[in-house]
Structure 1
Amino acid sequence: MELKRLHTRIAESSLLLPSASAVYLLVWLFAGIREYWWLNLALTAATVYIIVELSNANALIRVRSRMVSSTFLVLSSLCLPLHYSLQNTFVMLCLTLSFFLLFSSYQDKRAVRLHYYASFLIGIASLCHTEILLFMPLFWILALTNIQSLTFRTWIASILGILTPYWLLIPWLFINQEPGLVATHFSKLFPKEHVFDTTMINVSQWITLSLVMVLGIIAAINFWRFNYEDRIRTRQLYGFFAWTAIYSIFLIFLQPQLFDPLIRIITLSMSTFIAHYFSLSRTRMTQIVFYAGSVAVVIAIIYNLVTWSGLSTF
């Protein structure tokens, strides 16, 4: 009889996602409720639902599990400032839905509509953070090499999808006599200040990034060691997440002021590897990493609560 360790039983439990949601809500409450909290919470819930569907539709884990969405929720609890940013939460929702549509085009050379809508969502997200457009060259490369659905037609559809939100917005700006906002918006793609200025990243942010990276790297190494056990499609999608995480980490160092929107992209990408690791690996070392990681996450959440909520003043 195959041994099921505690982390494996947790990963396959039907109570996992409700428990992770409870943790997220508790952290939210302790951090303090802000204006439009209900809308922020609704956007987060929609993002988690899409992650669940993305995981199921693409069989990211070979067993029935809600580990990907639950890991994302728990690790998102580390990022307290994001609970207050409606803008960052909306961007994450757009990107997650974009990933879902892009993955649905796997090896479909005629998926013009899927590429258009996926890029349209990224275009909408870029209205909040122009720098999201920096991901498009990477996504085109990955659509060619990993998703294997990029053709000249789907590439043109992708470009049109990105441009559509701006076709709708720019005339409105000219009507309101604010054309200068267009130049200001796109100037953020090439900032002259704070480039590689890591002093902008505070201690709490370093802790969050380091913890997500360490757990993610351990899980990624395990995945690539045993990736022959997964289907080719699964390996290709995990490659997509890996390159997205690497590129996001590079952008954090290049433009540290973008830490808040980028850390969630890293969190989503690394959550897939971490979930896969804890769901399928049944070694004693995995159990040790699970316990140590859980304790580290709890300590980091408490530290970030004290730091960001000002509880240290009491």
Structure 2
Amino acid sequence: MYTHSFRNTIVSSSFTLPVMAVLTLVLWVLPGMADSTLWGGLAITMLTAYLIMELNNRNALLRIRSRMMSTTFLFMMLVCPTLHCWNIDALTVVCLIAAYFTLFASYQKYRCEGYIFHAFLFVSMGSMAFPPMLVLALAFYVSMLFQLRNFNWRTFMAGIFGLTLPYWAYAAYAIWNNQLDTAFLYLDEWFTPIMPDYSRFPPNQLATAGAIMFWALLALIHTFRTAYNDKIRTRMLSYVIVTVEFTLAVLLAVLPHCLESTIHLFIANTSLLVGHYFALGKGRFFNAWFYLTILVFAGLGVWNYLSLYL
């Protein structure tokens, strides 16, 4: 028999996201109200949460009316204070969600070159701040071939043009300033293979990253187990998110020296899957598991704040 639990109230309430936004605002700027970098980071985070909400609304990623995806994103960001200050890497998250808008709109479209061009353009724009983001282009091409069913020579070239346009513009700027010979040297440091070294990270950061990856794994399992309940279009879009999730997980594993940049993207993408998991998950002990998850992440947040400010 169905019982309306506190978790159901959190999942379905229209007040959940505003309450989470207010909590985020208060705790985010608490370390320094006059710190403009904190306000800048908060603005980008709130914008990303809004875009995630719109992405869900336009594509019906959840079968119920819920704001759990945006709420999950804010909650995960809140417990990671090292990501709170503004830096250019924060724009990569906005670019990823913006790319999803146009990529999802191309689903089974006969002439969708414009959508594909803009999806890859957003990826390329994000890569100007964080070059390894270019790897997501491979995930997009795989998704176009298997999930979106719109891969052909026209969409392939549209993706190439979208990827290269920002670099053409940058090359033109470098030529104007007579710096073309050195303009792209910064890419070498990002794509030079190095042995991953996890020992330089404090235990709290490793524990937080591990917890996020653990719940991401549970959300992936849930997605595959319950995908048949969704419409075909929603199922295919969920698999696109899963494809990107695997790609970001690989980046996390092989580029630990870029942990803050990669985990930012990973949190945004994971929030789509974990939000789906907690909004639609069922089971005898699932409510207790939901509360335990909140306590675990809250505990990690306290640990992270204490490690950062004490």
Whether these two folds match at TM > 0.5 is: yes
CA contact (8 A) 1:30 1:305 kept: no
In the alignment, which residue of structure 1 is the partner of 2:217?
217
Alpha-carbon distance in structure 1 between the residues aligned to 2:148 and 2:199: 37
User: Could you tell me which amino acid in structure 1 is paired with residue 98 of structure 2?
Assistant: L
Number of aligned pairs?
309
In the alignment, which residue of structure 1 is the partner of 2:66?
65
In the alignment, which residue of structure 2 is the partner of 1:137?
138
CA, structure 1 residues 226+85, in 2 after alignment: closer, same or farther (shift >3 Å)?
Answer: same
Alpha-carbon distance in structure 2 between the residues aligned to 1:189 and 1:149: 31
Flag structure 1 segments of 5+ consecutive residues without an equivalent: none
Matches within 5 A, 1:96-115: 96-115=97-116
In the alignment, which residue of structure 2 is the partner of 1:151?
152
1:15-44 Cα deviation digits (max 9, x unpaired) = 111111123223312343533443333222
CA contact (8 A) 2:40 2:85 kept: no
> What secondary structure, in the 3-state scheme, does the structure 1 residue paired with 2:30 have?
helix
In the alignment, which residue of structure 1 is the partner of 2:299?
299
In the alignment, which residue of structure 2 is the partner of 1:247?
247
In the alignment, which residue of structure 1 is the partner of 2:236?
236
CA, structure 1 residues 80+109, in 2 after alignment: closer, same or farther (shift >3 Å)?
Answer: farther
How far off is 1:68 after superposition?
0.6
Matches within 5 A, 1:154-173: 154-173=155-174
> What secondary structure, in the 3-state scheme, does the structure 2 residue paired with 1:284 have?
coil
User: Could you tell me which amino acid in structure 2 is paired with residue 80 of structure 1?
Assistant: P
Flag structure 2 segments of 5+ consecutive residues without an equivalent: none
> What secondary structure, in the 3-state scheme, does the structure 2 residue paired with 1:197 have?
coil
1:275-301 Cα deviation digits (max 9, x unpaired) = 222222342321121011010111111
CA contact (8 A) 2:120 2:163 kept: yes
How far off is 1:97 after superposition?
0.4
In the alignment, which residue of structure 2 is the partner of 1:89?
90
Alpha-carbon distance in structure 2 between the residues aligned to 1:184 and 1:27: 39
In the alignment, which residue of structure 2 is the partner of 1:184?
185
Alpha-carbon distance in structure 1 between the residues aligned to 2:65 and 2:222: 20
CA contact (8 A) 2:116 2:155 kept: yes
1:203-252 Cα deviation digits (max 9, x unpaired) = 22212212212222223323322221111222222222222222212111
CA contact (8 A) 1:23 1:74 kept: no
User: Could you tell me which amino acid in structure 1 is paired with residue 224 of structure 2?
Assistant: W
Alpha-carbon distance in structure 2 between the residues aligned to 1:156 and 1:307: 48
Alpha-carbon distance in structure 2 between the residues aligned to 1:121 and 1:275: 24
Alpha-carbon distance in structure 1 between the residues aligned to 2:220 and 2:16: 22
- Does 2:233 match 1:264? no
In the alignment, which residue of structure 2 is the partner of 1:206?
206
How far off is 1:180 after superposition?
3.8
How far off is 1:106 after superposition?
0.9
User: Could you tell me which amino acid in structure 2 is paired with residue 218 of structure 1?
Assistant: L
Matches within 5 A, 1:13-24: 13-24=13-24
- Which moves more between the two structures, 201-210 or 228-237? 201-210
> What secondary structure, in the 3-state scheme, does the structure 2 residue paired with 1:199 have?
coil
CA contact (8 A) 1:244 1:266 kept: no
In the alignment, which residue of structure 1 is the partner of 2:226?
226
- Which moves more between the two structures, 25-34 or 286-295? 25-34
CA contact (8 A) 1:130 1:185 kept: no
Alpha-carbon distance in structure 2 between the residues aligned to 1:109 and 1:79: 42
User: Could you tell me which amino acid in structure 1 is paired with residue 45 of structure 2?
Assistant: T
CA contact (8 A) 1:48 1:69 kept: yes
In the alignment, which residue of structure 1 is the partner of 2:42?
41
User: Could you tell me which amino acid in structure 1 is paired with residue 6 of structure 2?
Assistant: L
User: Could you tell me which amino acid in structure 2 is paired with residue 261 of structure 1?
Assistant: S
- Which moves more between the two structures, 299-308 or 35-44? 35-44
How far off is 1:189 after superposition?
4.1
How far off is 1:302 after superposition?
0.8
User: Could you tell me which amino acid in structure 2 is paired with residue 101 of structure 1?
Assistant: T
1:156-180 Cα deviation digits (max 9, x unpaired) = 1111111111111112112223224
In the alignment, which residue of structure 2 is the partner of 1:4?
4
